[in-house]
A and B are shown apart, each in its own frame.
Chain A
Amino acid sequence: MSITTFKELQEICLKENKKIYEVMMSSEAESGENSEYHTRLQAARSLLAMKSAIESGLNSKEPSISGMSGADCAKLQESFKKNQSLYPPFLQKIMTYALATSEENVRMGTIVACPTAGSCGIVPSVIISYGQDYKISNDEQVNALITAGVIGKIVALKLPLAGAVGGCQAECGVASAMASAALTQMRGGNIEQILNAVGLALKNILGLTCDPVCGLVEIPCIKRNAFMAIHAVTASELAIANIVSVIPTDEIVDTMVQTAQLMSPLLKESAKGGLAKTKTAIELEKSSFGN
């Protein structure tokens, strides 16, 4: 039987005493979609590519094709060395890795669309930072990435993960929920806590617009990746404290779908409204490579 809601997922996990990634992998294998071997292999490949994107991004200041971005990760690393940060090293690392990956993306570097290219910095920054700082095995990181994939998949069954359909709630918003699930699982959270982390993260990104300047995945996308990565940690902290999402996660997904339908097309990746039509954005459009 295919699993289409978070409620079903939770019931099967509890009944069979299995983890999210185990349950969904065997469900996909049974329905003839992908074997468990195949899913694990791709997850391991993706994780490796994520690590190498971070590595490249940390060491580059190369501008994007448009020239509008590319130097912020270097600035942030410099600041963490020079100024006293309010964040502990683990959170500094997450922000840095998120920017490293997103900047690597806009300079046409190799990244993993997870779930999309515009939101590519969020899931890797959280999984890999936690993996490094808390000595999590590569296998467990792969399991966490698969769980992140399961969360994205269940949302995507109702709402396509594309800014043009769902606004940024469907890209960086969902990425943040995926990352919070992965993190909560690596911390030893139970199924209720993991799905509460998802619900709490998603509730907080409802209505997020997709209005990129010049129609390019740069402003505000790159910095949003850093914000949303930290957002995932906050959701996980709340969930580990057994703070619950009063609205069940499936109902929040339904709300995202409704919100996406109510949002004007001008705010869904068309670059015809919002930040994309500010005075400064229009000037950038005239001067940059975008046009």
Chain B
Amino acid sequence: MVMMLWLLILIPLLAAPFAWLGQQWSRSAPRMIALGALSVDVLLALFLWNHGDSVQASGHGSWLVESHISWIPRWGISLHLGLDGLSLILIVLTAFIGVIATIASWTEIRSRVGLFHCNVLLALGGVIGVFLAIDLFLFFFFWELMLVPMYLLIVIWGHAQRRDASFKFFLFTQAGSLVLLVAIVALALLHQQATGRPSFDYADLIGLTLTNEMARWLMVAFLIGFLVKLPAPPFHTWLPDTYTEAPTGATIILAGILAKTGAYGLLRFTIPLFPEAMSEISPIVMGLGVVGILYAALLACAQTDIKRLVAYSSISHMGFILIGAFAGTELALQGVVMQMVAHGLSTGGLFLLAGTLEERYQTREMGHMGGLWSVMPRLATMTLFFACASLGLPGLANFVGEFLVLFGSYATQPFMIILASLGMVMAAIYSLGMMQRTFFGRQQDTRPVPDLSNVAFGTVLVIAVLQIWLGLYPRVVLTTAQPVMEQLVQATVASANLIHSRSESLLSSHIVTSQGTIP
């Protein structure tokens, strides 16, 4: 079982050089290698999912499976991996979206096919590592590992403005990473101060008691690092440029998975490491989430470029994750997990379709489209489906995610939730506006273009079926995630109580000493 954990990461990483070399054998060899490696990863993760109960014994504490290998003991760094329900769900999603991204690039990527798939595999290996690593140093290693291949994917295979976009992407995420790194090192050093030896281990650091002041600063650093990735305003401006300029496959990975690493970081690190500071700051962060929902939705309504529209809608949906993560109730957290999966599927599908549209018409401007329903009925139908998912139609997975977040958070911040609900109206406006401008109305461009290919249609159909399945039977995801979320809430509640009792005892001891000092 422990071996499988490493296999999950190593399969894509080891397949990467082969994908590169494979180019010499045939044009489709890299594609087949990437597809094969990712499919094996999906199967492996699904196997772990199925046997989740039986492997429970092999892990310690809350982890289903855990692997601990010493690496640099002097600095308390080890190769420590842990798998629980949350990471399992996200790994399955990652590998699945990876498969979709590979299929989406099948016809789009024609030059340097090997290098492209090598980068895709490296990035995905990094992402899976991020979801598994519970040593903060190792985590950061994977965090950076996914970044560079992503940059290359954009700058080499992107569209016209790729240089600027990739620069912006790299600068933003790198700045966020830097802040994160400083905070991680600071945590390790604080551990040394407290116990005499530095440690980057999650289990060690989670028990570390920090002064309020320190915890607040470190919490903000962790928050910024992850908010850039999520993204939430005001750190979101890299996203629309990046998503529009990246090749379709990379956009699907970016929107479908990379954004989730930010959310995962919030759930895995920011909240459990600094529960007290978190409960202080949570109204502000939730407010940020609301602003994100409304502001991004407003901008989505203003876009004329179809990919930018989807990009802004994506930011808007991320606001729900931010709200739910900081609401502090189990229901909202469950909604966050659901929203992560649902959003990965729906934006993945939407970007695949928008990319196809761009490939066919060589433009993203919706003003040049219109009336395409009769030209490409398959594409139009599927876009309609995903537009519905995006506007939160009940019965589809996004609805479950968003509504669980809203239901779970209403008790905490009723007013904010009412504002966030307005996002639903705005989502209807931009989603339907997109449909109207591209597929309905009079036909602008009468060039004959092919409809969605069978392979692409099949892929999108699979995503659609998953959307419906998770929308009507979300228990698959929810029961897997529940123990983790339960623990998370308990930890925060316990620490909140701890603060309470501690401040009380502090108060009483203070009284005692003051009595003692005054004779």
A binds B: no
- Please list the residues of chain A having a beta carbon within 8 angstroms of any beta carbon in chain B: none
